[in-house]
Amino acid sequence: MAGSPPLCWVVLVVCLLGFAGAGNLNKELEITWGGGRAKIVNGGRMLTLSLDKGSGSGFQSRNQYLFGKIDMQIKLVAGNSAGTVTTYYLRSEKSKWDEIDFEFLGNLSGEPYIVHTNIYTQGKGDREQQFYLWFDPTADFHTYSFLWNPQTIIFYVDGTPIREFKNMESLGIPFPKRQPMRLQSSLWNADHWATRGGRVKTDWSNAPFTAAYRNMNADRTCIWPSSSCSSSKDHSWLSQRLDSAGHRKLKWVRRNYMVYDYCADSKRFPHGLPPECNV
């Protein structure tokens, strides 16, 4: 981006490490839509989103972040959730936005959820990867995490990496690093595409559908804007990458649970796969 400040200046001068903690969600999050279908309960220890035929609901973080490691425990919609989508993502606010997505695609009872991931840079996505989970995400809370630093973006499920997107700007591949992003989440009806490509519709007799959130941890973040990025806490996450053990776990997930990879979809890209797929 022409005229943008150097990355080192952005990291060291513009953002401040946040200390959000995993306590009262009222301090970290604000409900943005849903007309009462979103609620912060249990003294701020839990947030619930609901969807009925009238509307879904959503929330966002009070802070914007430029880089961070953010964890959230989520319990997804149980039973027949076909047609519903629970989202959990980071997004910037400009027209050419950056975005890092978890989307949990609903299912028929007894069938596994699909975790749909995507990465947008300057308003362009088309980088979808999808995975089954190796557990029932509706039976209990599980931790879903983003690590976003100047070198890489890593998606984690219960501490296991499921996807990595490295900074490859040296090869002309855009990487989101100059726009602050806000954590957002929503529960909405997407039965035109979410379950079996839209062939299975939402059964409104099961409504309201509800997802629950707790234990947000944004201790390791750069909060935008500020005058410095200094902290007495460890901020090694700013240069963290997957180590050999992490790469082994990532390969295990891809081998056993990957459903779709845009880098393997030559029919979708008849004129050649995106350049990052060839690295």
- Are residues 156 and 132 in contact, defined by beta-carbon separation less than 8 angstroms? no
The catalytically annotated residue of 30, 93, 103, 169 is: 103
Query: What is the rounded distance in angstroms from the CA atom of residue 99 to the CA atom of residue 125?
Result: 8
To the query of whether residue 93 is one of the catalytic residues in this protein, the response is: no
Please state the separation of Cα 191 from the chain's center in Å.
21
* Position 59, amino acid: F
pLDDT at 110: 80
Whether 7 is covered by a domain: the verdict is no
The catalytically annotated residue of 28, 30, 93, 99 is: 99
* Position 196, amino acid: R
Q: Residue 173 half-sphere exposure, CB side, CA atoms within 13 Å?
A: 18
To the query of whether residue 28 is one of the catalytic residues in this protein, the response is: no
Domain count, the chain: 1
Whether 5 is covered by a domain: the verdict is no
Whether 231 is covered by a domain: the verdict is yes
Which residues form the domain of 120?
A: 17-278
Query: What is the rounded distance in angstroms from the CA atom of residue 68 to the CA atom of residue 54?
Result: 35
* Terminal Cα-to-Cα distance of the chain (whole angstroms): 23
pLDDT at 14: 40
Whether 3 is covered by a domain: the verdict is no
- Are residues 85 and 194 in contact, defined by beta-carbon separation less than 8 angstroms? yes
Whether 103 is covered by a domain: the verdict is yes
Digits of tens for pLDDT over the chain (279 positions)? 444 444 444 444 344 444 434 479 999 999 999 999 999 999 999 999 999 999 999 999 999 999 999 999 999 999 999 999 999 999 999 999 999 999 999 998 888 899 999 999 999 999 999 999 999 999 999 999 999 999 999 999 999 999 999 999 999 999 999 999 999 999 999 988 888 888 889 999 999 999 999 999 998 899 998 744 545 467 789 999 999 999 999 999 999 999 999 999 999 999 999 999 998
Angle at 39 between CA 35 and CA 41, to 5 degrees: 160
In Å, the largest CA–CA distance within the chain is 54
**DSSP assignment of 150-206:** SSEEEEEETTEEEEEEE--GGGT-----SS-EEEEEEEEE-TTTTTGGGTS---GGG
Whether 259 is covered by a domain: the verdict is yes
Whether 1 is covered by a domain: the verdict is no
Q: What CATH number should be reported for the domain holding residue 163?
A: 2.60.120.200
Whether 63 is covered by a domain: the verdict is yes
